[in-house]
Amino acid sequence: MNMLEVKKLKVWDQKSHKVIIHNSSFQLQSGRCLAIVGESGSGKSVTCRSIIRLNNPWIAQSGEIFFKGENLNQLSEQEMRKKRGKQISMIMQNGMNAFDPSRVVGVHFKETLAEHFGWSKSEIEGNMKKAMESVRLQNPIEMMNKYPYQLSGGMLQRMMIALALVLEPDLIIADEPTTALDTISQFEVVEQLIHLRARMGCCMLFVSHDLGVVKKIADDVLVMKNGEIVEHGRMDAVFSDSQHAYTRHLVATRLELGHHFKKIMMQEEL
């Protein structure tokens, strides 16, 4: 069964009339992880924001986006707000952008969970404490009383993962969740996302330009270039037997970087 089905998605800038996404069509099956890869500006993040209709007001879109058989493009903004968070959770590239900088992070959790579940303050704190501890965040109550700037990018990303654990969505959209993090935090966040999928059985749309991370987490891969899908298939098949020259270029670049890194490490050991 397809949890998500995108048909002929077209996205354009109404100010400049520039087309950003050219008639994209793809599916995401229940329980699977689909990675969208490509260079910066290829349309990966715009595609994700189009699914939950969070692009800027001057960005228009057409086509059909079916989530659990329902066309999201036909829903009102009020109906979409009920979908966001509870049924479709988004983990953003920069954790700082997910929180109001003028308020402690716990306020975001309380507002989100109160809206979707109607829980009391103590119920919210209890559930968030348990979820935060499960993603290896220490002193959760203390952390919830801190402002975003007082926490690292890796901590904020794991807090968003903890919130997703409590919300138990059917679809998680992770838009470049490791890009702004150091290597150790990247590893920890990817491990937590893998754990999240295993625990909840949800499906995931994972956006990244890092093919190493993609190979670790994804089942299927969609390759984008200049707003168009140039290749789509199972991860192993796409990486080992690429049909498009652009995909072969991405894979070759990744291999070259890997060899270069190993060479540097060997020289340092000597």
pTM: predicted TM-score of the whole model, two decimal places: 0.85
Single-letter code of the amino acid located at 248: R
Sorted by where each begins, the domain ranges of the chain are 2-269
Do the beta carbons of residue 152 and residue 79 sit within 8 Å? Answer: no
DSSP 258-270: HHHHHHHHHHHH-
Q: Are strands 171-175 and 59-67 parallel, antiparallel or unpaired?
A: unpaired
CATH of domain 2-269: 3.40.50.300
- The burial of 114, by beta-carbon neighbours within 10 Å (0-12 exposed, 13-18 middle, 19 or more buried), is given as middle
CB atoms inside a 10 Å sphere around CB 1: 8
Give the whole-angstrom CA distance, residue 252 versus residue 103. Answer: 45
- pLDDT tens-place values along the chain, 270 residues long: 899 999 999 999 999 999 999 999 999 999 999 999 998 889 999 999 999 999 999 999 999 999 999 999 999 999 999 899 889 999 887 777 788 899 999 999 999 999 889 899 999 999 999 999 888 889 999 999 999 999 988 889 889 888 988 998 999 999 988 776 777 777 888 888 888 888 888 999 999 888 888 988 999 999 999 999 999 999 988 888 888 898 888 888 765 444 433 444 345 455
- Largest Cα separation within the chain, whole Å, is 63
